[in-house]
Amino acid sequence: MSDGLVRLLDGNTFVVSEETGDIDASPTIPSGLFSFDTRFLSKWILSINGERVSPLTVEEIEYFENRFVVVPTMPTPLADVSVSAIRDRFIGGSFTERLTLVNHEPKPVELRIRIDVASDFADLFEIKDVRNKRGRYHIRVGGGCLRLGYQREKFCRETLISSTAPAQIDQQGLTYDVRLGPHDQWSTDLHVQALGQNGRDLRESLQGKRGRVRKQMRQDLDDWLAAAPRLTCDSPTLARTYRRSLADLAALRFMPLTAGGHALPAAGLPWFMAIFGRDSIFTSIQALPFTPDLAATTLRLLALLQGVVLDDFREEEPGKILHEIRYGETTGFEEQPHSPYFGSADSTPLYVILLDEYERWTGDAATVRLLERSARAALRWIDEYGDIMGDGYVWYQRRNERTGLENQCWKDSWDAISFRDGRLPGLPRATCELQGYAYDAKIRGARLAREFWHDPAYADRLEREAAELKERFNRDFWVTDGEYYALALDGEGHQVDALSSNIGHLLWSGIVEETRAARIAEHLLGPRLFSGWGVRTLATGQSRYNPIGYHVGTVWPFDNAFIAWGLRRYGFHREAGRIAEGIIDAAGYFDGRLPEAFGGYERELTRYPVLYPTACSPQAWSTGTPLLLLRTMLGMEPRGEHLVTRPAVPPGMGRIELLDIPGRWGRAGALGRAHRERH
């Protein structure tokens, strides 16, 4: 299943093109060559003798390497093809394309080969919101290069294009007049660099490292895959999805200068190739049993960028963990607050959860002690700034009314939080999962305080506050006539009573009373929420339900992974397995790469998962989904110095074996078979 776009990426430098390899971006389509939130190529079009090309095949060799085989567009379908072109494309910080022309005729041919080039230097926010540029463009030809540039005051970006074969270069592109002998071929390497201030390579100046050559990229991927646990299983779909997930995690690794050469996951291509607090934390939790270094970098970097002052524009508060950070023009000129922006209410409690989970898996007590101040500040934020109403709940209300997010939970689109009749609640809002995260953060913070910070009084206080929060939550959020938890409370304390997938996050946080867990599981796997592929974000029958609405009816793989994990926590093994099986089945229709979201249509109606129109792919927490599902199916949990497994593999999955799982125990293995679930 394809959306007709081809992706190539290395961290937050990436290319999105058509299946011909061409880039012909409109102002609102995120295709092109991007780096650090700026588009450096908006046009890259190949023509042969004045004809644009048509695709024959597209091969994604690895996430950083593609091959396109194309031919000139023929006047009639039955016309013989006399010449074809191969476009071998690679990205390793900068962008390289080897263009090869092949003559299929027994006689010489004369070819005019043309690459039309342009750059609008659009900021990603400008593409989404269609804004006019305020700087000036320039184009220069000289020294065998084409230089496209844009400058607005001190903000400068340039695209430098060169070729190994001699070319006629003008301000719109490069032309080659080539004579090919019978069955002969010709090639050139085209090299594109993204430059920043003072003509320096942008990645080198902002990340402190040069781009990598193809051999280095391949070796890095081989080493990354070799270090991960080895999976053997009966399901070809699961095997393909696992390998794809690990490779996509490698592709999404982002190394900002402040991370000291270490990587954390960028959120998703194309819109969110940046540091996101929430997304990086969730992905790090998912990936802990497979690549714990991601969590270590995420924890350290987010601590370094933690809020220290009150700033309404950026919505910064002392102790708060950032929402996202950007490097583009609109951020530089404070047209957007992302330098960084702190508009999320969940990143801060999630930070404490990740720190505890990281230590449980790795035994890295030194990091827990190193980050004590940051964790305490995050816990303090929950009570001092998260509790806007003074009632013990975590609320949100944007202080940046012009460009801040209205909804600051993971469902952050404008209409994501609603009553069952479709009305939107007033602000502030306290969504249910925020209270679960706060509860979990206090429980985990208490463990850290008692075992590592040598502060038993603080631990006792946190546990007491968590117990009070759980009691209060189960009283105030329980929708009696529906027997589920409300999506949120509004500013007047009314229950926002839509039935949503958010209730599944309450299970993995542990805030649900045991006597109510079975009813929550029934809702999650019932026909209103469960599509057959996964749990919908909003139940059918709710006024705003839309199977292809961003947060109001689609299925989000990451959401389902955490719901399944929560179901297992409360002992609902078969229900967790149904979700895992549905999501892995869906992955098979996407060649193993789960998108950000797909349609919430009934499985029997469409018979295949329907892609959400503008879903990010790859997206970090969707990439992490199969990893958390494996942990859930195999029942893997750290217990002191040991890895404990309680397999509950769903019917149809067969045998699953995962070996060399890294952790405080060294390397361990886990084995599960489908028949065990029937006992």
DSSP letters for 285-342: HHHTTT-THHHHHHHHHHHHT---S-BTTTTB-TTPPPSEE--SHHHHTTSS--SSB-
Cβ neighbors of 228 (< 8 A, separation 6 or more) are 246, 290, 291
Question: Residues, the chain, total?
Answer: 679
Query: Could you tell me if 531 and 602 are in contact, meaning their C-beta atoms sit under 8 angstroms apart?
Result: yes
CA-based max dimension of the chain: 88
Q: How far is CA 98 from CA 39, 69, 101, 211, in A?
A: 21, 12, 10, 17
Q: How far is CA 488 from CA 279, 380, 390, 585, 640, in A?
A: 21, 22, 16, 32, 36
68, β-bridge pairs = 58, 87
Q: Which residues of the chain, if any, have pLDDT below 50?
A: 676-679
Q: Return d(Cα 501, Cα 487) in angstroms, integer.
A: 9
The pLDDT assigned to 678 comes to 38
**Rounded-to-5 percentages of helix, strand, coil across the chain:** 35, 30, 40
Question: Can you give the pTM of this predicted structure?
Answer: 0.95
Which of 250, 240, 232, 259 lies closest to 287, judged by CA? 250
Strands 94-103 and 38-41: unpaired
Q: Backbone phi, then psi, for 194, in 5-degree steps?
A: -100, 115
Strand extents, DSSP E, 171-300: 173-180, 185-195, 230-233, 253-254, 264-265, 275-276
DSSP 192: E
Structure tokens at 657: 């074996």
Q: Return d(Cα 660, Cα 364) in angstroms, integer.
A: 19
Structure tokens at 170: 């003008």
Q: Return d(Cα 80, Cα 74) in angstroms, integer.
A: 8
Burial class (CB in 10 A: 0-12, 13-18, 19+), 662: buried
Q: Return d(Cα 597, Cα 617) in angstroms, integer.
A: 9
Query: Could you tell me if 632 and 670 are in contact, meaning their C-beta atoms sit under 8 angstroms apart?
Result: no
Other Cβ atoms less than 10 A from the Cβ of 106: the count is 7
Region of 493 please: left (phi>0), alpha (psi -120 to 50) or beta: left
Place of tokens 């549905």: 582
Place of tokens 């929402």: 323
The pLDDT assigned to 677 comes to 40
Place of tokens 């967790």: 576
Mutual orientation of helices 277-287 and 557-569 as an angle, nearest 10°? 50
Query: Could you tell me if 167 and 173 are in contact, meaning their C-beta atoms sit under 8 angstroms apart?
Result: no
Which of 327, 208, 306 lies closest to 257, judged by CA? 208
DSSP 679: -
Cβ neighbors of 621 (< 8 A, separation 6 or more) are 267, 279, 282, 283, 286, 557, 558
Structure tokens at 492: 């007047």
The pLDDT assigned to 67 comes to 97
Position 28, amino acid: T
276, β-bridge pairs = 324
Q: Return d(Cα 187, Cα 195) in angstroms, integer.
A: 26
Query: Could you tell me if 100 and 67 are in contact, meaning their C-beta atoms sit under 8 angstroms apart?
Result: no
Which of 364, 392, 332, 381 lies closest to 156, judged by CA? 332
Q: Return d(Cα 351, Cα 307) in angstroms, integer.
A: 13
Region of 260 please: left (phi>0), alpha (psi -120 to 50) or beta: left
